Structure 1
Amino acid sequence: MRAIYATDLSAASEAAIQNETCLECLERIGVETVHLVTVVPSNVHAGMPGMDLEKRRERGLQRYRSVMQDAGFDVETHVVRGTPHRRINGIAETIHADMTIIGSRGQSPLENRVIGSTARNLARTTVVPLLVNRIERATDEPEIRHEHLFQRVLYATDFSENAERAFDAFSYLRHATEEATLVHVESPKDPSDDPETQLTELADRLERWDIDAQIELRYGDAADEILDVEEAVTPTTTLIGSRGRSRLRQLMLGSVSEDVVARANGNVYLVPPPRTA
């Protein structure tokens, strides 16, 4: 597997990249090659006083490269200029990446729960599965929230085609997953056909992979209920599929996916629809 690791070289990014347990989790699910990517904003020019950002970022990426190579990964580095989420997506398409990883500071002291603009824009536009890795906020030496990225997974499903596509990620996540909670939130406006049986069948599939699985059938607002389950079972990562781009709002996720990515306490692994030709 090839992974894009997007970094702004901040202390938060360094916390994730230099965490041995996180890197072991990536290796366990099959990541062999890592493309370290940092983007210099297009409105920052080399001639501006004190703005040798490209050289500084190249030096920073070389430090990270050494860490990842010591962990056993093949590593390539990219210092590019432009709009971060667009350049990251462009590289992901060019190299046929299997996933993109980005750190997020998580809870904001000013607003209950937010994610940074690059992480938010990537979540809305990503062309490959996206891991939003939660990192502590409001500290000079941040640490990641969950070292074991996929040890306990909360999988949210509406039984749609793309929810099934997200479930298929267990085919490789299972090598790092011990427990899973499967949740479906039933809507009176769009009732499912025997949701408890469908959840049980999915749980049985995971049990055959030696993953201890339990199910949760909830009623109410989908995002609120999923986040309530997250708070109750404290997964290391929430796995969810997105519905892709809306016809009315080009960069808008389905509201449930967007709420979960923005408000979750832990990591989120977001699986988009298949890439179109």
Structure 2
Amino acid sequence: MKALCATDLSAASEAAIENETCLECLDRIGVGTIHLVTVVPSNVHSGMPGINFDERRQQGLDSYRSVIEAAGFEVETHVVRGTPYRRINGIAETVRADITIVGSRGKSPLENRIIGSTARNLARTTVVPLLVNRVERATDTPEVLREHLFQRILFATDFSENADRAFDAFSYLRHATEEVTLVHVRSPKDRGSDDDIDPREQLSERAETLENWGIETRIEFRDGDPAEEILAVEDEVMPSTILVGSRGRSRIRRLLLGSVSEDIVAQASGNVFLVPPPRAV
């Protein structure tokens, strides 16, 4: 597998990329090659007196390269110009990445919707599974908030096609997963529906699959607002990562990320692993 790690060379990015436990988790799920990408924004000019941004960024990537290569990965570096999320998505497609990783500061005590603009735009437009890796806020030497990326997963599902696609990610995540909490939230609009299959049965079927892989599994069935209830379960079980599909039942186009997924990416305390729908041909 190939992972693309996007970095702005900040202390937060360094914490996300160089954490040994995080690197071990990537190795366990089968990642062998890591592409390090940094984007020089279009409005930053390399001709500014005394400053060579491209060279300085390449030097920063080279320092990360040595650490990651020492952990056993093959590494390629990319310094590019343009709009960060667009260039990151473009490189992910070009190198056929299996996962994109971006660091994001955790929630601000003053404002829940604090997520870097690049991470937010990637969540809305990513063409490959995206890991938003939470990093401490308000410190000069930040650390990642949940080191074991996939050890304890909260999987949120509405039984849509893309939720099933997100569940399929366990085919490789399971090699680093010990515990899973499966959660389905029945919203007011779902009550009285004519579905033939009991949601509890569907959760039980998925739990059986995970338990057959030796993963300890629990089930949560909630009523209420989906995003609020999923985040409430996160506060209770403290997973390493929330796994969710980027589009549920909504028929709006993918660039308008479903509100539930968007709220989770913006407000979750820990990491979020977002699986997008297949790209339209």
Percent identity at matched positions?
A: 74
- 2:205 maps to which of 201, 206, 224: 201
Task: Tell me the SS of whatever aligns to 1:175.
Answer: helix
Give the aligned partner of residue 33 of structure 1. 33
Q: Is residue 211 of structure 1 aligned with residue 222 of structure 2?
A: no
Q: Is residue 93 of structure 1 aligned with residue 93 of structure 2?
A: yes
Q: What amino acid is aligned across from residue 258 of structure 2 in structure 1?
A: G
| TM-score normalised according to structure 2 size | 0.95
- Per the alignment, do residues 248 and 202 of structure 1 end up closer, same or farther by CA in structure 2, a change over 3 Å counting? closer
Instruction: Kindly report which structure 2 residues correspond to 1:259-270, keeping only aligned pairs within 5 A, or say none.
Output: 259-270=263-274
Q: What amino acid is aligned across from residue 262 of structure 1 in structure 2?
A: A
Q: Contact 2:128–2:275 at 8 Å: present in 1 too?
A: yes
Instruction: Kindly report which structure 2 residues correspond to 1:10-159, keeping only aligned pairs within 5 A, or say none.
Output: 10-159=10-159
- Per the alignment, do residues 248 and 156 of structure 1 end up closer, same or farther by CA in structure 2, a change over 3 Å counting? closer
Q: What amino acid is aligned across from residue 175 of structure 1 in structure 2?
A: H
Distance in 2 separating the partners of 1:266 and 1:248 = 27
- Note the C-alpha offset of 1:106: 1.3
Q: Contact 1:45–1:51 at 8 Å: present in 2 too?
A: no
| Count of equivalent residues | 276
Q: Contact 1:44–1:51 at 8 Å: present in 2 too?
A: no
- Note the C-alpha offset of 1:112: 2.6
Calculate the aligned-residue CA RMSD, in Å: 1.4
Q: Contact 2:112–2:266 at 8 Å: present in 1 too?
A: no
Q: Is residue 253 of structure 1 aligned with residue 247 of structure 2?
A: no
Q: Deviations 1:16-40 (Å, cap 9, x if unpaired)?
A: 1111110000000000010000000
Q: Contact 1:106–1:113 at 8 Å: present in 2 too?
A: no
Q: Contact 1:151–1:236 at 8 Å: present in 2 too?
A: yes
Q: Deviations 1:183-232 (Å, cap 9, x if unpaired)?
A: 00012323453111110110000000100000000000000000000000
Task: Tell me the SS of whatever aligns to 1:174.
Answer: helix
Q: What amino acid is aligned across from residue 260 of structure 1 in structure 2?
A: I
Q: Structure 1: which 5+ runs fail to align?
A: none
- Note the C-alpha offset of 1:4: 0.5
| TM-score normalised according to structure 1 size | 0.96
